[in-house]
Structure 1
Amino acid sequence: MYFGILIALVPLCIGYLIKCKQEKWIAKINQILSWMVYFILFIMGAELAHLDNLATNLQNILFYTVIIFICTFGGNFIFLMLFDLFLPWKTSSANQTFGSRVKMILESLRVFIALVLGFIVGLFPLFVWQYTENIIQVVLVFLLLLIGIQLRSNNISLKQILLNKVGIATTLIVIISTFIGGMVAALLLDLPLRVGLGMSSGFGWYSLSGILMTEAHGAIIGSATFLNDILRELFAIILIPTLIKRYKLTTLGLCGATSMDFTLPMLQKGAGIMIVPPAIVQGFLLTLLMPIFMTLFNYG
């Protein structure tokens, strides 16, 4: 139990102690992280190929994904919409077009290509597959170390986080409504509550959530968790242009952890520069809390 918690939290904390100031090194870290995401998904695809009763298990993965996504994303939507209706946040809209939405969706879909390629290669009896578990652990440690460095290098002070009430409010609503949805999904799927909570606590960070849940509960649960989080990102991209002008808090919250990076440009286009600080704070907090919550649910 303690090893599982340490392997997730120690590299993240060590990385957070390292601050990178040079732009070229930050860019290299971002590039390496991007490559590692595709590599992790490739390995996940290979593990799927090694499942017994593959057709039945794929049906289970899709069924789990649909239930967990409806419960968590739907819960987020309802709670955030109520927050938006009773305590609306007024900002000036940027009134810009969203011509890059299709491009962003296509970029997001690249992760499926990595997964499918891994699945295809995994069908071949290669000797390397016997070391998959060790490879995943090494990659996971390195990934979390770099994530910690990336978080620290964003120059977000504790004061900035504590003073940004909007970012903290949306983060709390996302966490609470997601966990409620995860518990409902666990009951519907006849899973232990902690498994449902673990599956729901990715907050859109699909690369790490998938690998952590695969390590703890196997390829079926891990794959369903990954698909749930990638669907969050895709639906957020689709809904931003429709919701951003009238329901800014809802739109921000639905982006989850991606509000700090991938969906940030679209949020800024629709709501103006005022949404950037809470978006970064929300993404930062969810990115920081995600491995903590998931390891506690998996090994606590």
Structure 2
Amino acid sequence: MQNLVTLVLVLMPLFIGFVIPSHPYLSKVADKGLTYLVFVILTLIGIELSQVQGLGSQLGEIILYVAVLSVLTIGTGLLALMLFDRLRPWHAKKTAVKGQHHPVSIRGSLIQLSCVIVGFIIGHFLPTAYLPHDSTMTVMLMLLILLVGIGLKGSGITLKEVMLNKRGVEMSVVFTVAVLVGGLMFAMLFTNVSWTKGLALASGFGWYSLSAIVMTDAYGAIWGSVALFNDLIREFFALIFIPLVMRQYPTSAVGLGGATSLDFTLPVIQQSGGLIVVPLAISFGFIINIVSPVLMVVFSALG
């Protein structure tokens, strides 16, 4: 019953965000609010991490988990999409999408990492009575999903447009299956990781703020931090390697960012691949943003 409640808590705000009438001002507020909310969530995760007993002795294990999980999830997804590019070369049609030039840098990722560190420091000096309530993360999760739903609705993208992009749907399936295989491989390497936990950790697909909350709620702050840093590493990796991969493997380059292909890594995708790849990135990113929270909640609920 609790598993069903958790799934509803994730999907209900997303549905509400979709049914709220779209308005440019509301979309702008949701986008701005989402940016600040992510900073708050990462700070809260840092605070929770500071409360873990014997964290120093577990730091080596955390680094090992993050390193192995990152190599497996990023590697399987990239290799599968490169094979897909080879077997099914992409011949994109010209698009009428108007381009917007956005600066591309890792500054945003560094700020997000800083929020975790600041939260960790605050948590060490914060009196127990002032620590966040146990339900705080659940509330933050629901608000995060609500704002994402409003943002997706306000973007003007319809499910019909997304699903009509055959290449976007196909690469979403290939990417999802491949990354989940990486999660299973991770579970096989560590005896204390069940196959459901391996799949849940892999299902973040780069959505670090969401994966950190869900994994913290399901498995504790240690595994929440593993999910967070795993997905942040994907973001760093994508920003650096998308331009290098784009020329020979455009589909693979788009897929490198995972869930962030719809927002954070979209500028570098556009700059390195041109306007022609934007519809593919939007279709892929949209689908992954819908699939990721569902898979994380389902797999973490299974055990």
TM-score, normalised on structure 2? 0.92
Matched, 1:227 2:229: yes
Aligned counterparts of 2:10 and 2:165: Cα–Cα separation in 1:
27
SS of 2:106's equivalent in the other structure is helix
SS where residue 123 of structure 1 aligns?
A: helix
Counterparts of 1:162 and 1:142 in 2: how far apart (Å)? 26
Q: Distance in 1 between matches of 2:59 and 2:130?
A: 20
Aligned to 2:82: 81
Which residue is 1:164 aligned to? 165
| Alignment root-mean-square deviation, CA | 2.0
Aligned to 1:294: 296
Unaligned residue ranges in structure 1 (runs of 5+): none
Query: What does residue 260 of structure 1 align with?
Result: 262
* Higher mean C-alpha deviation, range 128-137 or range 105-114: 128-137
**Same amino acid, percent of matched pairs:** 36
Answer yes or no: is 1:154 the counterpart of 2:155.
yes
1:236 partner letter: A
Residue 117 of structure 2 corresponds to residue 116 of structure 1: yes
Give the CA deviation at 1:92: 9.0
Q: Which deviations, in whole Å up to 9, do the C-alpha atoms of 1:237-276 show, x marking residues without a partner? A: 0001111112101101111111111111111122221211
Structure 2: how far apart are the matches of 1:137 and 1:100?
Answer: 33
1:181-213: CA deviations, max 9, x gaps? 000001112211010000000111101110110
In 2, the alpha carbon distance for the partners of 1:176 and 1:19 equals: 34
Deviation at 1:298, TM superposition (A): 1.1
What's the offset of the Cα at 1:152? 1.4
- How much does 1:16 deviate? 1.6
Q: In structure 1, what residue type is equivalent to 2:295?
A: F
Give the one of 18, 21, 24 matched to 1:19: 21
Gap change, CA 1:263 and 1:75, over 3 Å in 2: same
User: Does residue 147 of structure 2 align to residue 179 of structure 1?
Assistant: no
2:7 equivalent to 1:5:
yes
Contact residue 92 and residue 271 of structure 1 kept, 8 A: no
* Mapping 1:30-45, distance limit 5 Å: 30-45=31-46
Instruction: Count how many residue pairs are aligned between Structure 1 and Structure 2.
Output: 295
1:100 positional shift: 4.4
Amino acid at match of 2:224: G
**Structure 1's 53 and 242: CA in aligned 2 closer, same or farther, altered over 3 A?**
same
1:216 is matched with: 218
Alpha carbons 2:269, 2:278 under 8 Å: kept: yes
1:70 corresponds in structure 2 to: 71
Q: Distance in 2 between matches of 1:12 and 1:99?
A: 27
Q: CA deviation at 1:82?
A: 0.8
Closer, same or farther: CA 196–276 of 1 in aligned 2, 3 Å? same
Query: Contact 1:29–1:146 at 8 Å: present in 2 too?
Result: yes
What letter matches 1:168 in structure 2?
A: V
Between stretches 124-133 and 235-244, larger displacement belongs to 124-133
The alpha carbon displacement at 1:19 in A equals 3.2
